[in-house]
Amino acid sequence: MSLLNVNDLSVSFVTRNGTAEAVKNVSFTVESKSITAIIGESGSGKSVSCYALLGLIPQPPGSVDSGTAEFKGRDLLSLSERELRGIRGSDIAMIFQDPMTCLNPYMRIGEQLIEPLLVHGVADKQAATQRAIELLDEVGIQNPDVAMQAYPFEFSGGMRQRVMIAMALIAEPKLLIADEPTTALDVTIQAQILRLIKALQDKRDIGVLFISHDLAVVSDIADHIVVMEKGHVVEQGTPSAIFSQAQHPYTQKLLAAIPSGETPKSDADRPNLITATNLKTYFTSNNAEEPVKAVDDVSLTIRQGEVLGLVGESGSGKSTFGRSLLRLTPITDGRISFDGIDVGGLDRNNLKALRRRMQMIFQDPYASLNPRMTVYDTLAEPLLLHKIVTRSGLDNAIKELMDNVGLARSFAKKYPHEFSGGQRQRIAIGRALATKPEFIVADEPVSALDVTIQAQILDLLKDLKDEYGLTMLFVSHDLAVIRQIADRVAVLYRGKLEEVGDTSRVFNTPESDYTRQLLSAIPGQSAA
């Protein structure tokens, strides 16, 4: 029995360049106790199709031009805003792609979690609070009773995503729309969330509309796959049919961009560029007597011209370690050496000069980009600050950067809010590459990108590595990406170094039980 039946959905937007058809004559169904996945590149219309169902398209400039969306005998597209408010959060819930823009920064996590239950009269405050604590524990939040009192900024990107998932599930909806729900999660929590969603289907007859660019995840979870390109459905079918017998050239292109699993060869003769010795980075907390040991006595070297992959679950200290190397986060103890320079002993002026040689691609492009600066200004800032080009050569330098990261030159005068998450990440990558650095800390640089753009960026980074001798610390929860790009892999667990070694050795013969646990959680292994 169909839980949701979408027929001939068309959505358009009025832009400065005229009317753009974002979605055209899209049709699909979602069955009870079933998962329908929509895949496609950024801008293919995946999210717009789902937002339209719940009246979340701003009108104007958006417009639902045609179609029906039958849910439990009612056409969602013909309902009033008041009627939709009675459905949103109760019968239909949504997990949004970017948790930081969806969570209220002024409200505690607990208050935001229980709000849907109180608004829809599902439970009183005491019962709602208990339900929220149980669900936070279910999605992998440690000390959920303490987490209820925290604010969103106190959580990592992965933890915020888990909160969003808990918020969507708290009212036990019949239809769950999940827009990239596992993008920011490490593989073990990702596997846990996917199992949770599967369990909900059996327990509560729930149907799921699952939007994702991660084809490996889709292969593990989906019962039916819808492939979209430029607002059109080009192919539909079961996972086995799509992954083994794709008919449309576009689907074949997506599948060809999946990381191959081939590992680079490490060169042990390369000199060390960066050395961290007994590095400790601790954080004090008002809610705990003992400091949080984000990085706990880690000694690690990064060889010149290599890519060192850094993996581990959320909260393992990966991002903190990368930020500590660049002195973006104060260290508690230990020593950092870059090309023989004691980074910890540099004053502000000398550190600024070194920053040209050391850059970072941040995990959250929306938070790292200035909303008041155009793409042109964002890319121009490091070029002018470090006197890399003159004003006369600025235009050409910016055009070259945009070409390298796959951004149309016509986007130069646009602002961050005008781009998708994947496009914003490309802007952030271009900014990091602007100074032509020797060393880059790449903190989840491709997590928000669809597979084809992901492949493009990985190829770009590999080309830069080969052509310019670029050295990189590549932080990622996507082990398939790490396997493809990293020469060596280091594994962190709760701030401590579990193991380090050549990529092929770590993936094929891991020494640590924790590493084996991570590898067993990699999605898509059943389809391989």
Domain boundary among 144, 172, 200: 172
The DSSP line for 213-239 is S-HHHHHHH-SEEEEEETTEEEEEE-H
Kindly report which listed range (4-8, 168-172, 186-190) carries the lowest average pLDDT score. 186-190
pLDDT at 266 over 60: no
φ, ψ at 432 (rounded to 5°): -70, -35
Q: Has residue 410 got a pLDDT over 80?
A: yes
SS3 state at 210: strand
pLDDT score, position 264? 59
Position 307 scores a pLDDT of 92
pLDDT at 226 (0 to 100): 93
Q: Which of 201, 234, 256 is the last residue of a domain?
A: 256
**Integer Cα distance of 212 and 51 in angstroms:** 14
pLDDT of residue 364 exceeding 60, the answer is yes
Q: What is the pLDDT of residue 501?
A: 93
Are 247 and 128 found together in one domain?
Answer: no
Closest to 427 (Cα-Cα) out of 437, 439, 436, 419: 419
pLDDT at residue 486 in the model: 92
| Domain co-membership, 37 together with 158 | no
The bridge status of strand 224-229 relative to strand 292-303 is unpaired
Residues 181 and 65 in one domain: yes
- The pLDDT value recorded for residue 525 is 63
Q: Is 387 a domain residue?
A: no
Cross-strand bridge partners of residue 439:
358, 471
Whether residue 115 is found in the same domain as residue 155:
yes
How is residue 170 written in tokens? 């708290």
- Bridge partners of 488, per DSSP, are 308, 502
Query: What is the number of domains present in the chain?
Result: 3
Does residue 159 surpass a pLDDT of 60?
yes
Are 224 and 325 members of one domain? no
* pLDDT at 280 exceeding the cut of 70: yes
Q: Is the residue at 456 inside a domain? A: no
Confidence of residue 288 (pLDDT cuts 50, 70, 90): low
Stronger pLDDT, 342 or 460, i.e. the higher one: 342
Higher local confidence (pLDDT), 142 or 515 = 515
Residues 167 and 190 in one domain: no
Claim to verify: residue 247 and residue 271 sit in the same structural domain: no
Q: Would 362 be classed as within a structural domain?
A: no
Confidence of residue 286 (pLDDT cuts 50, 70, 90): low
pLDDT 10s digits, 72-128:
888 999 888 888 888 887 789 888 877 777 788 888 888 888 887 777 676 788 888
Q: Do 25 and 83 fall within a single domain?
A: yes
Instruction: Quote the pLDDT of residue 527.
Output: 53
Which residue intervals of 205-313 are DSSP H helices? 215-221, 239-245, 249-256
Residues 180, 66 share a domain? yes
Q: Which residues pair with 277 in a beta bridge?
A: 335
Confidence of residue 454 (pLDDT cuts 50, 70, 90): confident
pLDDT at 298 over 90: yes
Q: Is residue 332 part of a domain?
A: yes
Q: What is the mean pLDDT of residues 363-375?
A: 84
**CATH number for the domain harbouring residue 499:** 3.40.50.300
Whether 432 maps to a domain, the answer reads no
Looking at the structure, do residues 131 and 190 belong to the same domain, yes or no? Answer: no
Average pLDDT over residues 297-307: 92
Mean pLDDT of 358-385: 87
Confidence of residue 324 (pLDDT cuts 50, 70, 90): very high
* 155 and 283 share one domain: no
Q: What is the CA radius of gyration of the chain?
A: 23
Q: Provide the token pair at 232.
A: 């059109």
Whether 275 shows a pLDDT value over 90: the answer reads yes
Residues of the chain above pLDDT 90, percent: 25
pLDDT of residue 130: 85
In a domain, 44, yes or no: yes
Domain that holds residue 190: 2-91+174-256
> What's residue 260's pLDDT?
60
279-301 core/surface letters (b: 16 or more CB in 10 A; e: else): bbbbeeeeeeeeeebbbbebebb
- Domain end position, chosen among 121, 156, 172: 172
Q: How confident is the model at residue 184 (pLDDT cuts 50, 70, 90)?
A: low
Residue 276's pLDDT is 94
pLDDT > 60? residue 69 = yes
Decide if 397 is inside a domain.
Answer: no
Same domain, yes or no: 183 and 162: no
**What is the CA 437 to chain-centroid distance, rounded?**
24
Is residue 479 predicted with pLDDT exceeding 60?
A: yes
Query: What does the mean pLDDT of the chain come to?
Result: 84
Taking the C-alpha atoms of residue 244 and residue 206, their distance in angstroms, rounded to an integer, is 28
